[in-house]
Amino acid sequence: MRAYVMPLLVAACGAWLSAAATLMAPAAPQQMIAQIDFDVLHGQASAALEALRQSQNRHIASADRL
């Protein structure tokens, strides 16, 4: 009988600990979400796009030399 009870007990404890950890996780306050600086994000995206274009131009130029 113990062979059947122990795995069930371990599974129940694991499920309880998992649920407790999920419930104890702090939720992000709405104020923090609203503080996203879209100007900074736009600048970073523009810089990344320009770097990608330059990388593609270098790749095309090196392929033309072959």
Non-local CB neighbours of 57 within 8 Å, separated by 6+ positions: none
Full domain range(s) for residue 7: 2-65
pLDDT in tens, the chain (66 residues): 566 677 777 887 777 777 766 555 565 566 566 677 888 889 999 999 999 999 888 888 777 776
**d(Cα 5, Cα 16) in Å, to the nearest integer?**
16
Residue 23: what pLDDT? 57
Tally of domains within the chain: 1
Q: How far apart are CA 10 and CA 22, in angstroms?
A: 18
Q: What is the pLDDT of residue 51?
A: 93
Q: Give the pTM.
A: 0.42
